[in-house]
Structure 1
Amino acid sequence: MPNQRFYLKLAVIAFLILLLLIPQAFMLGLVGERASWREQAYQSIGQSWPGAQTLAGPVLAVPYQRTYNTRETVKDKDGKEREVLREATDEDTLYLLPSQLAIRSKLQSSLRYRGIYAAPVYASALQVTGEFNTQPLFDLLASNKDAQIRWKTPQLAVMVRDQRGVASPPALQWDGAPLAFQPGNGLPGGSSAGMHAKLPDIGLTQPARLPFAFEMELRGMRSMNFALLADNSDVQLSANWPHPSFSGELLPETRDVTASGFSAHWKASAFSYNVSGALEQCGKGECAGLLERAVGFDLLQPVDVYQQSERSIKYAALFIVLTFVALILFELLKKLRVHPVQYTLVGMALLVFYLLLISLSEHIAFLGAYAAAALASTGLLTLYFGAILHSRKLGLLLGAGLAGLYALLYVILQAEENALLMGSVLLFAVLAALMLATRHFDWYALAAGNGATPPRTASGTGHPATAAPDDSPAH
């Protein structure tokens, strides 16, 4: 009968653990729900502030009209065929990328709030310089020797992802002369966000280099990218945000991240960063692809509290199992009886830690929220353990062990890249300690005696050692 009662109780406890997985799943769902609300807050901020930005260009667009003779076969009235020469005209645009492009960016970031949620926004002061080579125009003339090319008004186009980010009208210096930009990039296909400037006729006496320069302030939110549209590109930027995540097809050659901000430097050539495919698509009337091949960075939040909370909740089952195992051992060794209702209350107290963590981390720093939630949960369970085990020492022992587990869990949460390794090592260490501590237990005798003292060997002998009585005061 005692064995049956013990095994029945183990079955009840196992069933309780399975039931406690339901509120654990609820906690994971709560994290996802709060994260979706934060994303909605970001979208709300994005409705009144420019979104993620990409700067592409400048691109020199030179439209032209080509007149040429074409041979056609026609039939006379008598049905004879003959060839005739006819004059044909078509129009096209030649798109040129800079031979040299240098971008200097100084970014100032701040936070915009919607309720309790904050999104990083920025204003980037940009200096763009470079030059175009007119050799492709002469190559076009050379490939159309039998045609007449009439050049039309060229224009310089700069593309941005969100038109609202252009804070003030920038001025262009083109071949040493000031020109005004107009809204809209003037390029075919896709988004028209950006700006363009009508240019004077390009002299075609001989190949030349045409320098350009302009300054602008570009505002955006959460990320900034640069399309390296040049034969040789050089991008240098600095920002006062200390948590960047570099993205794009090329990582910066050098970067320096400090507590006060970061700086980064990209260099690319036509060989390392091939944009000819996107330029060909632009020639076919689809220039939106020029925005897609870019490098840049995201402004990450210092701590993603929802990601950290979600990762911690995944360890809830481990905490519950370990705590229940400890209670079962003390129940057997100290001849105590812990009711399944008490096991349930202990499991709920362990789960309340995660609810406190989620709610507190939305208002204070994650470390402070974690410490407060762990202190509240550990303090409550320490008092409860002392009461149900009738021993203050045992309560403090279990509470100290639980506090140590919370401390180890926090270390694991901070080690993002090594979290799986550290979690696996922790699980192995706990299992090994439990197996070694109970390796001499006669579990049949413990279950049959309903708490009889286990036969422990003393100093390596095979004789049982007498367990010392617990003289702690009962509570």
Structure 2
Amino acid sequence: MPNQRYYLKLVIIACLILFLLIPQAFMLGLVGERVSWRHQAYSSIEQSWPGMQTLAGPLLTIPYQLTYNVKELVKDKDGKEREILREVTDQDALHLIPSQLDITSTLDSSLRYRGIYDVPVYSSGLQVSGTFNTQPLLDLIADTKGKQIRWENPQLAVMVRDQRGIAAPPSLQWNGATVNFKPGNNLPGSASAGMHAKLPALDLNQASRIPFQFELELRGMRSMNFALLAENSAVKLAANWPHPSFSGELLPETRDIHANGFNALWKASSFSYNVSGALEQCRAGECSGLLERAVGFELIQPVDVYQQSERSIKYAALFIILTFVVLILFELLKKLRVHPVQYTLVGFALLVFYLLLISLSEHVDFLRAYTAAAFASTGLLTLYFGAILHSHKLGLLLGTGLAGLYALLYLILQAEENALLMGSVLIFAVLALLMLATRHFDWYALTAGNPPNRTVSGTDHPVPATPDDSPVR
């Protein structure tokens, strides 16, 4: 009968552990809900502040009309075929990228708040300079000999992802002359975000290198990217945000991240990107692809409290199982009886730690939130263990062990790259400790209500424990 009672209790405790997985899943769902609310806060701020930005260009566009004659066969009234010449006029445009493009950016970041959520925004001062080579115009003229070309006014287009980010209308220094930019990039299929400048006619007698330069203040949030549309390009960036996440097609060649911000340098050529393919799409009337392939960075938060909370919740089942196993051992060794209701309360006390952690981490830094939640949960359980085990020493022992597990869990959460390895080692170490501590237990005797047998060193015969013997070796 005692054996059956213990086995039935073990079944009840196992069912209780499965039941406690339901509130654990609720905690994970709560984290996902809070993350979605944070995204809503981002979207809300984005309605009144420019969003993620990408700068593409400048792109020199020279529209032209090409007129030429084509031969056609036509039939007369009597059915005879004859050859005629028909004049055809095609509308096209030549898109040129800079032979050299240099961008220097100084980014000043700050935080905007929506409720309890903060979102990083920035204002970037850009200095853009470079040169265009007009040799492709002469190549086009040479390729279309025998055809008449009528050139239209060229324009310089600069594309941005969010038009609202252009703080003030800049002016362009083009070949020594000043030209004003106008809103909209004036390119087909690109949502017209950006700016353009009408340029004077180009010299078609000889190839030349035309220098250009302009300054632009561009505002945005969360990320900044540069589409390097040039034969050779270099982007030099300095920012006061100390937690960048570099993204895009290429990582920076050099970077220096320090407590007050970071510096980065990108270098690329037309071989690094499929620039010609994007230009062909633009020629076909779809220029939005020029924004897609870019380099840049994101302004990430230094500590994602929701990600760390989610990772900590995944260890809840381990904490519950370990605590219940220790309580069962004390029941057997100290001849105590812990009611399933008390196991249930202990399980909920362990889960409340994660609820406190999620809520506190939204208002204070993660370390303080974790410490406060662990102290509250451990303190409560230490008092409760002392009461149900009828021993303040045992309660303090269990509370100290639980506090040690919370400390180890925090170290695992901070080690993002080695979290899986450290978690696996922790589980193995705890399992090994339990197995070694109970390796001489006579479980049949324990569950039957008798003192445990122990094995004499050097023999295989169990020796009954005397009243003065400790049940644990």
Q: Deviations over 1:143-181 (max 9, x none)?
A: 100101111000000000000000011110001111100
Match of 1:443 in 2: 443
- 1:259-290 deviation digits (Å, cap 9, x = unpaired): 11111111011112221111110010000000
TM-fit CA distance, 1:122? 0.4
- Does the 8 A contact of 2:2 with 2:448 survive in 1? yes
Cα distance in 1 for partners of 2:457, 2:346 equals: 36
Measure, in 1, the Cα distance between the counterparts of 2:226 and 2:17: 52
Trace 1:24-173 onto structure 2 (pairs within 5 A): 24-173=24-173
Inter-CA distance 388–232: structure 2 relative to 1 (3 Å threshold):
same
Alignment partners' CA distance in 2, 1:278 and 1:149? 25
Counterpart of 1:454? 452
Take 1:261 and 1:454, find their aligned partners in 2: how far apart are those partners?
A: 64
Q: Is the 8 A contact 2:67 2:148 kept in 1?
A: yes
Q: Following TM superposition, by how much is the alpha carbon of 1:30 offset from its aligned partner in structure 2, in angstroms? A: 0.7
1:373-396 deviation per Cα after TM superposition (whole angstroms, max 9, x unaligned):
000000110111111111111111
CA deviations on 1:341-391 (whole Å, 9 max, x unpaired) are 110110000000000000000000011000000000001101111111111
Match of 2:357 in 1: 357
Instruction: Tell me how far apart the structure 2 counterparts of residues 7 and 213 of structure 1 sit (CA, whole Å).
Output: 82
**Structure 2 CA distance, aligned partners of 1:296 and 1:459?**
68
Q: After superposition, give the CA deviation of every residue in 1:383-426 in whole Å (9 maximum; x if it has no partner).
A: 11111111111111111110111011111111112111111111
User: Which residue of structure 1 aligns with residue 421 of structure 2?
Assistant: 421
Aligned partners of 1:455, 1:129: CA distance in 2, in Å?
86
* SS in structure 2 at match of 1:385: helix
The one-letter amino acid paired with 1:28 is L
Aligned 8 A contact 1:254 1:266 in 2: yes
CA distance in 2 between counterparts of 1:87 and 1:461 reads: 111
Q: Separation in 1 of the partners of 2:185 and 2:168?
A: 15
* One-letter identity of the residue aligned with 1:74: V
Task: Tell me if structure 2 keeps the 8 A contact 1:112–1:118.
Answer: yes
Amino acid at match of 2:126: L
For 2:138 and 2:41, locate their aligned partners in 1 and report how far apart those are by CA, in whole Å: 53
Conserved? CA contact 2:451–2:465, under 8 Å:
no
The residue number in structure 1 matching 2:382 is 382
2:249 and 2:344 map into 1 onto residues whose CA distance is 52
Per the alignment, do residues 460 and 392 of structure 1 end up closer, same or farther by CA in structure 2, a change over 3 Å counting? farther
Match of 2:206? 206
Q: Note the alpha carbon deviations across 1:303-332, whole angstroms, 9 max, x for none.
A: 111111111111100000000000000111
Does the CA contact (< 8 Å) of 1:382 and 1:398 recur in 2? Answer: yes
Change over 3 Å in CA distance of 1:266–1:392 after alignment to 2: same
TM-score by length of 2: 0.97
CA shift for structure 1 position 458: 6.9
Q: TM-score, structure 1 length as denominator? A: 0.96
Q: Distance in 2 between matches of 1:382 and 1:467?
A: 29
Distance apart, 1:74 and its partner CA: 1.8
Q: 1:260: which partner in 2?
A: 260
CA contact (8 A) 1:361 1:369 kept: yes
SS of 1:224's partner is: strand
> 1:473 aligns to what?
none
CA drift of 1:80 comes to 1.8
Partners of 1:49 and 1:468 in 2: CA distance = 76
2-side partners of 1:385 and 1:342: how far apart? Answer: 10
Q: Within 5 Å, give how 1:177-192 maps onto structure 2.
A: 177-192=177-192
Local SS of the residue matching 2:448: helix
Map residues 272-311 of structure 1 onto 2, 5 A cutoff: 272-311=272-311
Indicate conservation of the 8 Å contact 1:316/1:351, yes or no. Answer: yes
SS at 2:47's partner residue?
helix
Q: 1:254 to 1:280 in 2, by over 3 A?
A: same
Q: How many residues align?
A: 468
Check 1:80–1:441 CA distance in 2 against 1; reply closer, same or farther (3 A cut). same
Equivalent AA in structure 2 for residue 438 of structure 1: T
Give matches, 1:381-400, under 5 Å: 381-400=381-400
Name the % identity.
79
- Separation in structure 2 between the aligned mates of residue 425 and residue 367 of structure 1, nearest angstrom: 23
Moved over 4 A (4+): 457-470
